[in-house]
Amino acid sequence: MSVSSATEVVDPVPGAGAPHLPRQPDLVQLLTPEGERVEHPQYSLDLDADELRDLYRDLALVRRWDVEATALQRQGELGIWASLLGQEAAQVGAGRALQPGDMAFPTYREHGVAWTRGVDPLHVISLFRGVDNGGWDPVATAFNLYTVVIGAQTLHATGYAMGLQRDGAEGAVLAFLGDGATSQGEVNEAMIWAASFSAPVVFFCQNNQYAISVPLERQSRVPLYQRAAGFGFPGVRVDGNDVLAVLAVTRAALAAAREGQGPTFVEAFTYRMGAHTTSDDPTRYRLASELEEWKLRDPIARVKAYLSRSGTADQDFFDAVEAEADELAARIRRGTTEMPDPPGTAMFDQVFAEQTPHLAAQQAAFEAYQATFEEASE
Amino acid sequence: MSTQTLTIGKALNLGLRRAMEDDAKVVLMGEDIGRLGGVFRITDGLQKDFGEDRVVDTPLAEAGILGTAVGLAMRGYRPVCEIQFDGFVFPAYNQIVTQVAKIHARSRGRLAMPVVIRIPFGGGIGAVEHHSESPEAYFAHTPGLKVVAVSNPVDAYWGIQQAIAHPDPIVFLEPKRRYWDKAEVDTAATPDPLFASRLVRGGDDVTVLAYGPMVKTVLQAAEAAAEEGRSLEVVDLRTISPLDLDPVVDSVRRTGRCVVVHEAPVTLGLGAEIAARVTEACFHSLEAPVLRVGGYDTPYPPSKLEEEYLPDLDRVLDAVDRAMGF
């Protein structure tokens, strides 16, 4: 392919191969799939033992939350669940790169980022249970509500970054998107705006290889991070299953944004191990062998291997995290099954800051109608 | 002297200026609104006086204008977005309908969305395709949006300020072919509320409703009808969503007849909604069905045909005749 021949082409993860893709250019990696710590000439990361163990804990707890949510959906407790299985490192690495003054704009799969922002998992679960559209406070958590229309949030993120810029605020914005979203006009507009106004925003694209069923090559004929050059800002591809590399790359990009250097596009090269959502059947569009290959690059196993081999964590630590994960899963299960349905009138609340007389009348009529059933049952 | 003669365009310009003076968080965004002052010159001189950060010449992408306005609103700004022409709002339609309109509810009131979307709307200026449309029903059908249409310089001056100060997103429709119409505007007066219709001419025989550019047409029809001894009561609806139909219902209960006039195609236009509500509220008073006068269910035609397409004095009077004939 003429495009890829212009760059150094190596397999993204040596020896593993991504059979459905042409050979890929290099990507930033600090921790190999085997758990070997490697250096990168441009990106370095110096974490102490506590920080390394904390990252493992994040990854393990987020995965446990995700597995529990999938189980809850299977048991009829959730309407749907969008699993992040396999993308834990991309999300935890990106989320932990954020500072308190930063703001994140997620898609609908960033449960791992929500975790790093202190969002209660039950406030995410409530969305998928159909109780609300997300129960967390987007201002207090600096984590916007989930956006379901693909890519729309990248413009919100860019506008928010322009606001930070106008306010002379310190922060930067992390805009999440997927590989499919890069085809959206609005995402391209966001990148144009971000470049033209030098907005402090980082576009964090989790390339998990599929937009539901459609593989990446239908979205792009060039590696996604190379798109950034066309907009006039840097793009970098990072091993999305390497939490250390994601953390280092995203930190650097956010720091550049805060310093007034404008946007960066980060492509976190990863893989959606599970289905798009619990309604999806990935066996219809991808090979089991592909999944098996990506299992070898599991984002959590490599951290565990590294922590063990380097003596940073012992079995007691892993047991303690396991126990904490069990507690978290039990709390999520209990909180989900005990979650009350909202009152019927909730749909009328907050449609407007100033409710209209028309809507107030409609609500009154609704209440009167509902009351007829209560009377009938008395 | 606080009273001056202003065109609708100039009244909007003054209203925008005053809103920007009153609140430093007001930011104007749009295509060609800075150095050029907008293709209709509504923002003329504002960038010179308020700077490029407050009157922003944006990249040429309407979704980008609305999408970044959302983010700015989340930071406490009050974006006022100019859509250059009605037919150009559709690239931004997704952001308006799925985001701007929904974010307050989605966030359970934690995020305010005080975004004003200014759209010059309607035909009659001899323009090419997409420059003469009336898309108000799309927005009135969208929960979470409010929609207003001004018909005169007084409402233009006050309405734009009221819309900018309002906490909810508002589609603010400007009657482009009336931009140059003049009236006395008292800038020290107390304005009427934004979300209120207004009786603009009393009459006994038929209640005729209009908004935006059609108000003038209907008032001219009322003049003509009066010469023939027929008395039309005219209501300028002013607010399209929410509708303020109390004055309309009072009127129709007296006249027993109602005609709704707008430029937009009649099928599922505002007239359909109004006819349903007026019928429900005034069923026992009606002497005739509520009639609609509007654009045909065709794409807005090439300009040589727009006189035939657009409701005019004669078509309004024809509907009045039909209402009286029942």
How confident is the model over A155-177, as pLDDT tens digits?
999 999 999 999 999 999 999 99
Mean pLDDT computed over A98-113: 98
Taking CB atoms and an 8 Å limit, are B95 and A139 in contact across chains? no
Cα separation, A256 vs A233, whole angstroms: 11
| Alpha-carbon torsion, ordered A287, A291, A294, A298, to 10 deg | 170
Taking CB atoms and an 8 Å limit, are B71 and A193 in contact across chains? no
Q: What per-residue confidence (pLDDT) applies to A374?
A: 82
ipTM for the predicted complex comes to 0.96
**Residue A8 burial by Cβ neighbours in a 10 Å radius (0-12, 13-18, 19+):** exposed
Taking CB atoms and an 8 Å limit, are A145 and B107 in contact across chains? yes
Active site residue A276: yes
Residues of B with a catalytic annotation lie at 131
- Structure token pair of residue B242: 């929410």
Q: Which residues of A touch B68 (CB under 8 A)?
A: 155-156, 158-159, 162, 190, 193
Q: Which residues of B touch A357 (CB under 8 A)?
A: 242
Range B57-61 contact pairs with CB under 8 angstroms and sequence separation of 24 or more: B57/B30, B57/B31, B57/B32, B57/B33, B58/A193, B58/B29, B58/B30, B58/B31, B59/A189, B59/A192, B59/A193, B59/A196, B60/B31, B61/A185, B61/A189, B61/A192, B61/A193, B61/B91
Q: Which of A147, A155, A354 sits opposite B63 (nearest CB)?
A: A155
Contact indicator for A58, A97 with CB cutoff of 8 Å: no
Helix (H) or strand (E) holding A130: none
pLDDT over 70, % of chain A: 93
Residue in chain B closest to A104 (alpha carbons) equals B71
Contact indicator for A258, A170 with CB cutoff of 8 Å: yes
For residue range A239-256, list pLDDT tens digits in order: 999 999 999 999 999 999
Cα separation, B274 vs A201, whole angstroms: 46
Cα separation, B219 vs B210, whole angstroms: 9
Tell me which amino acid residue B241 is. Answer: S
Q: What per-residue confidence (pLDDT) applies to A6?
A: 36
Cα separation, A280 vs A293, whole angstroms: 21
| Alpha-carbon torsion, ordered B183, B187, B193, B196, to 10 deg | 0
* Minimal C-alpha gap between A310 and chain B (Å): 44
* Minimal C-alpha gap between B75 and chain A (Å): 6
Contact indicator for A321, A61 with CB cutoff of 8 Å: yes
Q: Which of A144, A167, A193 sits opposite B64 (nearest CB)?
A: A193
- Structure token pair of residue A370: 């509902």
Taking CB atoms and an 8 Å limit, are A356 and B242 in contact across chains? yes
- Structure token pair of residue B64: 């980008």
Q: What per-residue confidence (pLDDT) applies to A375?
A: 76
Cα separation, B215 vs B217, whole angstroms: 5
Q: What per-residue confidence (pLDDT) applies to A131?
A: 97
Tell me which amino acid residue A328 is. Answer: L
Q: What per-residue confidence (pLDDT) applies to A250?
A: 98
Q: Best mutation site among B53, B68, B241 for testing chain A: the one with the most A CBs within 10 Å? A: B68
Q: Above 50 in pLDDT, residue A16?
A: no
Taking CB atoms and an 8 Å limit, are B61 and A139 in contact across chains? no
Cα separation, B294 vs B291, whole angstroms: 10
Local confidence pLDDT in tens for the 326 residues of chain B: 699 999 999 999 999 999 999 999 999 999 999 999 999 999 999 999 999 999 999 999 999 999 999 999 999 999 999 999 999 999 999 999 999 999 999 999 999 999 999 999 999 999 999 999 999 999 999 999 999 999 999 999 999 999 999 999 999 999 999 999 999 999 999 999 999 999 999 999 999 999 999 999 999 999 999 999 999 999 999 999 999 999 999 999 999 999 999 999 999 999 999 999 999 999 999 999 999 999 999 999 999 999 999 999 999 999 999 999 99
Active site residue A358: no
**Mean pLDDT for chain A overall:** 93
Active site residue A285: yes
Cα separation, A92 vs A84, whole angstroms: 11
Q: Which residues of B lie inside 8 Å of A (Cβ-Cβ)? A: 53, 58-59, 61, 63-64, 66-77, 91, 94-95, 98-99, 103-112, 143-144, 146, 166-168, 195, 241-243
Q: Which of B59, B195, B243 sits opposite A196 (nearest CB)?
A: B59
Contacts of B310 (CB under 8 A, 6+ apart): B123, B124, B263, B295
Strands of the B206-210 sheet, one edge to the other: B198-201, B232-236, B206-210, B258-265, B291-295
For residue range A23-73, list pLDDT tens digits in order: 556 899 999 999 999 999 999 999 999 999 999 999 999 999 999 999 999
Q: Which residues of A lie inside 8 Å of B (Cβ-Cβ)? A: 132-134, 137-139, 144-145, 147, 149, 152, 154-164, 166-167, 185-186, 189-190, 192-193, 196, 349-354, 356-359
Q: Which residues of A touch B67 (CB under 8 A)?
A: 152, 154-156, 158-159, 186, 189-190
**Residue A93 burial by Cβ neighbours in a 10 Å radius (0-12, 13-18, 19+):** buried
Cα separation, B289 vs B257, whole angstroms: 7
What is the value of pTM for the model shown?
Answer: 0.95
3-state class percentages of chain B: helix first, strand second, coil last, to nearest 5: 40, 20, 40
* Minimal C-alpha gap between B99 and chain A (Å): 8
For residue range A339-357, list pLDDT tens digits in order: 999 999 999 999 999 999 9
pLDDT band at A18 (very low <50, low <70, confident <90, very high): low
Taking CB atoms and an 8 Å limit, are B67 and A159 in contact across chains? yes
* Minimal C-alpha gap between B4 and chain A (Å): 33
Within chain B, residue ranges assigned H as helices are 8-22, 46-50, 62-74, 93-94, 103-106, 136-140, 153-165, 214-227, 246-255, 270-282, 306-309, 313-325
- Structure token pair of residue B275: 């006819």
For residue range A228-237, list pLDDT tens digits in order: 999 999 999 9
Give the SS3 label for residue B250.
helix
* Minimal C-alpha gap between B76 and chain A (Å): 8
Q: Above 60 in pLDDT, residue A301?
A: yes
Name all domains of chain B by residue range, CATH numbers in brackets: 3-186 (3.40.50.970), 198-325 (3.40.50.920)
Tell me which amino acid residue A184 is. Answer: Q
Helix (H) or strand (E) holding A255: helix A243-258
Q: What per-residue confidence (pLDDT) applies to B276?
A: 98
Q: What per-residue confidence (pLDDT) applies to A8?
A: 41
Cα separation, B40 vs B61, whole angstroms: 18
DSSP label at A150? T
Q: What per-residue confidence (pLDDT) applies to A26?
A: 82
CA distance from start to end of chain B:
51
Q: Which residues of A touch B106 (CB under 8 A)?
A: 133-134, 145
